[in-house]
Structure formats: structure tokens, C-alpha cells
Amino acid sequence: MENKGYIHVYTGNGKGKTTAAFGLAIRVLCAGGSVFIGQFVKNMKYNETKIEHLFNNVRIQQFGRGCFIEKKPAQEDIDAAYAGLESCKQILASGEYNLVVLDELTIALYYELLSIEEVLTAISRRHSGTELVITGRYAPAELIDIADLVTEMREVKHYYTEGVLSRNGIDR
């Protein structure tokens, strides 16, 4: 594994941000590296979280209470996000993992569950060899500015608009 870790941001309104992050995680794991995935907002075990059963050197933690996109976040949502950030601060600084994925972190920022200042502080204190991936819609300019790689997923067409719901093994 390389010595310098870079910061990736996968954002935009298109499908595939989390999928891309998990794809990179599998690449790191297959190269003998270790991976930590912290999922903000999410509390459901989607199929991709089953990689914990396939690899010994991956850890996934969820710091959410579920989807509140249609309603205002509760204090419990804010508390869960801050507890997650505290855990991720230690993980980022430790150098224990080659790759850290902060999935849906930008959603936690967008809904003001976390402050951008505290997130930037956590990122600035990460171990120099830790690769970091941040996913989610609405990535703030402050994250884009510090990132080394930014990919915007743009929805051009989606079968969801035709009434197709989330499909097992494809969308979840």
C-alpha cells in the first residue's frame, strides 16, 4: 500500500456513490489492506455490508437512526452523528486502516447533524497514510476544496422515475 493517503469525495444526485466507495474498499482488501467504513444516517444493513463476512480486515459501523429525509432530524439523530464523528476521529488518526470510508457524511452535514468545522478538524488530524473517501449528496465547498479527487455522480436517467423500487442485490 502507498504511504500517502488521499482524500476522495463522491457526491452528486446520481446513483453509485456508496457503490463506488465499497468497490474501492474491496480493491484495498484484495490488496491486503484494512478498511473501516462508517455509515452516517444509515441504520439498515444493506447487502454491501456483508463484506464483513468475506474479509477479516474490514469493520463497518453505522451511526444513524434511519432515514429522516422527509422530516426534521431529532436530537437523537444529532447525538448519533456526533458519537460517530468522535469514533471516526480516533480511527482516522490511528493509522490502523489503509482506507476509511465516511459514507453519507455529506448528508449529515447538509442536515446540520454535524458542523463542517469539526469534520475538517477530524480530517486534518488523520494519519498521513490513511486514504479517505467521503460520500453523499450536497458535498460542501469546504470538503471539495481539501479533496484530492472529487467525482460527481450526475443522474441522467433512473428507472426509479418509472416506479421501479429498490431491487435486492442491485440497489441495496
Give the three-class secondary structure for 21.
Answer: helix
- pLDDT, residue 2, reads 61
- pLDDT, residue 23, reads 97
CA atoms of 136 and 147, how far apart (whole Å): 14
The matching CATH number, chosen from 3.90.79.10, 3.40.50.261, 3.40.50.300, 3.90.1150.10, for 7-162 is 3.40.50.300
Nearest to 94, CA basis, from 129, 44, 134, 139: 129
Query: Measuring CA to CA, how many Å separate 87 from each of 38, 40, 159, 169?
Result: 9, 12, 37, 29
Whether 170 contacts 16, CB under 8 Å: no
- Domain positions in the chain: 7-162
- pLDDT, residue 67, reads 64
CA atoms of 84 and 166, how far apart (whole Å): 27
Q: Which residues of the chain have pLDDT under 50?
A: none
- pLDDT, residue 1, reads 63
- Partners of 152 in the β-ladder: 11
Nearest to 37, CA basis, from 95, 93, 73, 84: 84
Q: Which helix (H) or strand (E) holds 107?
A: helix 105-110
> What is the maximum alpha-carbon separation in the chain?
46
Q: Which helix (H) or strand (E) holds 100?
A: strand 99-103
Give the three-class secondary structure for 82.
Answer: helix
- pLDDT, residue 69, reads 61
Neighbours of 137 (CB within 10 A): 16
